[in-house]
Amino acid sequence: MQLFLIPVTIGNYQATVEAFMQKHIRGPKQTFTFVMIVTHLLSSILSMETVAIVLSILGDSIKRQVKDATRFSATAVTRGFTLGTLWAPGAATIFLISTVTKVGWTQLFIPCLILGLLGLLLAYLMEYNQPYMRIQPVTTNTKQQTRFTEHASLVSLVAAVIALLILSFVLMESKVVSSMNAVTLSGLLIVLIWVTALGLKPTTGQTAFKFALKKASLDYWQHGIASGAALAPFFVGIGTFTYGFQHSTISSELTHALAPSFAHLGWLLIVLIPIIVVLVSLIGIHPLASVALIGKIIMTMHIALSPLLIALSLNIGSVVAYMLSPFAGIVMIVATLLHVSSATVSVRWNWQFCLIFLVLSLGVATLLSLIF
């Protein structure tokens, strides 16, 4: 997914997004919505790199319009990003959940996308009456771009996300490759086509394009590859832990011990799943680990609940944990860039949203499981 840094850098989409914001976005309410949507879309292809890009591009514009820019930025970015992990083709959590529950990503996509859009709407409504939302923006002179260039560039960003989703769907449904490999291959093809299209634009000189490509590739090597390598030991550890747990006696013993209690819970188990994921995340256990553990236990119990509903419950729990845990990677990155504590970003500013979203999304997930 970090390969998308190359076309984004070559096309100078950061400046395009900022220029569009300065020219068309009026007031804190529109700005909050715009920041969430941009973060939500970019997170599906750029992963955590999105946070640094959004805050660096839009940070000054937010400060000019909002008094409490730190809380404004933290809530908009964390909620936009984490809600994107509900459905994003590159999100590790959704593929882990798919593996554990045997519910395919193509089956999860529509319900999870609905839950993500519901979360964005809820986030906006909860911040609507905050004091900083009533502050009038201060207009400033910015470098102008033509309307065609702005819209064309923004359309390209959206088109890249849609193309990634469609191509991933096609490869998964055709069963040419596995789900994870389908997303990897789709991302590679979209990046190659995107970069080629940028190089063939009439307004792009070959010398300038080669220079931009070299610079973007260097940035990818230094930042994209580096960030991926830094996370690699963690994912290897999660995989080793999951495999070891699945083939150990602990799994069967826990299943035997918990099965009677869980069987009596019935539908209440759907509420208990995300609560457990969130609680263990508050003591430092990553949601990927807890999702793998809990999902494995529940799926081996053969409880009379829809596998889709169990998968949605696990996904909701992981999203809330990513947002509420001070130890979550996204929270720590946002806190570091905004120079506040991770507990402030997660618990203080997001706990009310997390609680309401948890209750509301579980209700909607139950209805979606009956429809899909």
For every one of its 372 residues, what pLDDT tens digit does the chain have, with 9 covering 90 and above? 567 778 877 877 777 777 777 777 778 888 899 999 989 988 877 677 788 778 877 877 788 788 888 999 999 999 999 999 999 877 888 888 988 888 988 899 999 999 999 999 999 999 988 887 776 545 444 444 444 455 556 778 778 888 888 888 888 778 777 766 777 888 889 889 988 888 877 666 677 777 778 877 777 776 666 655 655 676 676 667 666 766 677 767 776 777 677 767 778 889 999 999 999 888 877 788 788 878 877 887 777 788 999 999 999 999 999 999 888 888 888 988 888 998 999 999 999 999 999 999 999 999 998 888
Task: For residue range 127-168, list pLDDT tens digits in order.
Answer: 988 887 776 545 444 444 444 455 556 778 778 888 888 888
- pLDDT recorded at residue 124: 94
Range of the domain at 227: 2-371
Q: How many domains does the chain have?
A: 1
Task: For residue range 271-295, list pLDDT tens digits in order.
Answer: 999 999 999 888 877 788 788 878 8
364 phi, psi to nearest 5 deg? -65, -40
